[in-house]
């Protein structure tokens, strides 16, 4: 079969891995410029050179046996390592969170910087549409491996049941602040959790394999992010910096760089499914949101969808 996957995050790539291993031809399409999805890494210019930040997922766990096996392989290949700073069961990509996604994407046919905004089906199969233009290639199957809200847009004309599942699975936003300092902050703390304003903050430079100056990633709590969704970057930088200083009990020096990123769909909802597949339409849906808001859930969902299609 020729299969198109919209979304080249972990769920789409995990699905592609299984389908390609079974002999199918898979093409992935992603609107981003490069690999990562919500496990992405941001590089920012400073006077001491580029500093990279894991500005999406901070760490992940591997509780499922099959996912644990995959993570062990990533460790053997030097693209993941344990990060004791977040707990005994925490893993991170090495040298940056997007490393496993980069490695997975490298073995597939991925088209980057292409936002799919429509799907067309005729007797010969599926075609994808971008910017109002239909892409010529025909596919037997189409898979959506994107957040629920974005999947809902593409599902609207096709499967009303799947659309209802996506529409009821709502993601929470997350304002994320990235800071780097020429001199390390005078604190032993590596991570901060569960403050009403800051849901999570951690010293990014404490993670294994990271080089460069003292860098921090500060994630606002879901409630605060929602309340301040339309704030300017400058407002967010100022409020979250002040809050971090309060919590750590240190004065923050002028940073080498300060940048805020608004994730509209950060922490997914939970549809209590593994994956969705419509055999008549030959359309599938996977993504963390089918199972829960975690890296492991994305891998499990993509793998589950491939298993359903192959069966």
Kindly list the residues in this chain that would bind ligand FAD in the complex (CB under 6 A): 6-12, 29-32, 37-39, 56-60, 115-116, 145-147, 150, 174, 176, 219, 263, 266, 287-288, 293-295, 298
Q: Which is nearer to ligand FAD, 9 or 85 (CB)?
A: 9
Q: Which is nearer to ligand FAD, 6 or 256 (CB)?
A: 6
Reading the block at residue 264, the tokens are: 């509209």
Minimal distance in Å, beta carbon 40 to ligand FAD? 8
Length of the chain: 311
Q: Which is nearer to ligand FAD, 219 or 303 (CB)?
A: 219
Minimal distance in Å, beta carbon 299 to ligand FAD? 8
Q: Which is nearer to ligand FAD, 174 or 256 (CB)?
A: 174
Q: Which is nearer to ligand FAD, 18 or 176 (CB)?
A: 176
Reading the block at residue 220, the tokens are: 């606002």
Minimal distance in Å, beta carbon 292 to ligand FAD? 8
Which whole-number Å values give the CA distances from 194 to 247, 257, 296, in the listed order? 11, 25, 22
Minimal distance in Å, beta carbon 191 to ligand FAD? 11
Minimal distance in Å, beta carbon 145 to ligand FAD? 5
For residues 42 and 134, the answer to whether their CB atoms sit within 8 Å is no
Phi-psi region of 276 (alpha: psi -120 to 50; beta: other; left: phi over 0): beta
Minimal distance in Å, beta carbon 298 to ligand FAD? 3
Query: Which helix (H) or strand (E) is 1 found in, with range?
Result: none
Using Cβ positions, the residue closest to ligand FAD within the complex turns out to be 9
- CA-nearest of 100, 92, 77, 130 to 13 is 100
- CA-nearest of 234, 300, 237 to 270 is 300
Query: Which helix (H) or strand (E) is 305 found in, with range?
Result: helix 295-310
Minimal distance in Å, beta carbon 17 to ligand FAD? 13
Q: Which is nearer to ligand FAD, 115 or 280 (CB)?
A: 115
Reading the block at residue 237, the tokens are: 């930088």
In 10 A of CB 63, how many CB atoms? 10
Reading the block at residue 58, the tokens are: 């901070």
Q: Which is nearer to ligand FAD, 35 or 255 (CB)?
A: 35
Reading the block at residue 247, the tokens are: 């919590």
Separation between Cα atoms, residue 293 and residue 266, nearest integer Å: 8
Q: Which is nearer to ligand FAD, 7 or 255 (CB)?
A: 7
For residues 205 and 171, the answer to whether their CB atoms sit within 8 Å is no
Minimal distance in Å, beta carbon 225 to ligand FAD? 9
For residues 158 and 252, the answer to whether their CB atoms sit within 8 Å is no
């Amino acid at each position: 079969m020729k299969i198109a996957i919209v979304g080249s995050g972990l769920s789409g790539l995990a699905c592609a891995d299984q389908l390609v291993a079974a002999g199918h031809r898979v093409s992935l399409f992603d609107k981003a410029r490069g690999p990562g999805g919500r496990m992405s890494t941001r590089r920012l210019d400073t006077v001491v050179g580029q500093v990279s930040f894991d500005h999406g997922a901070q760490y992940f766990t591997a509780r499922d046996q099959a996912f644990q096996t995959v993570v062990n392989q990533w460790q053997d290949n030097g693209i993941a390592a344990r990060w004791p700073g977040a707990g005994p069961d925490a893993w991170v990509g090495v040298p940056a969170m997007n490393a496993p996604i980069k490695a997975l994407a490298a073995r597939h046919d991925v088209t980057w910087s292409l936002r799919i905004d429509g799907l067309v089906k005729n007797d010969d199969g599926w075609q994808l549409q971008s910017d109002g233009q239909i892409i010529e290639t025909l596919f037997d199957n189409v898979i959506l491996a994107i957040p629920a809200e974005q999947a809902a847009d593409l599902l609207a004309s096709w499967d009303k049941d799947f659309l209802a599942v996506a529409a009821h699975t709502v993601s929470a936003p997350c304002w994320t602040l990235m800071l780097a300092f020429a001199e390390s902050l005078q604190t032993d703390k590596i991570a901060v959790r569960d403050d009403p304003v800051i849901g999570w903050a951690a010293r990014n430079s404490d993670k294994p394999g990271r080089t460069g100056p003292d860098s921090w990633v500060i994630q606002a709590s879901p409630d605060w992010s929602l309340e301040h969704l339309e704030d300017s970057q400058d407002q967010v930088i100022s409020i979250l910096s002040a809050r971090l200083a309060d919590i750590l009990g240190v004065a923050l020096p002028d940073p080498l760089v300060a940048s805020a990123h608004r994730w509209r769909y950060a922490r997914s909802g939970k549809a209590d499914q593994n994956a969705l597949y419509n055999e008549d339409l030959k359309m599938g849906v996977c993504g963390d949101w089918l199972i829960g808001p975690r890296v492991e859930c994305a891998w499990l969902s993509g793998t589950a969808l491939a298993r359903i299609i192959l069966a």
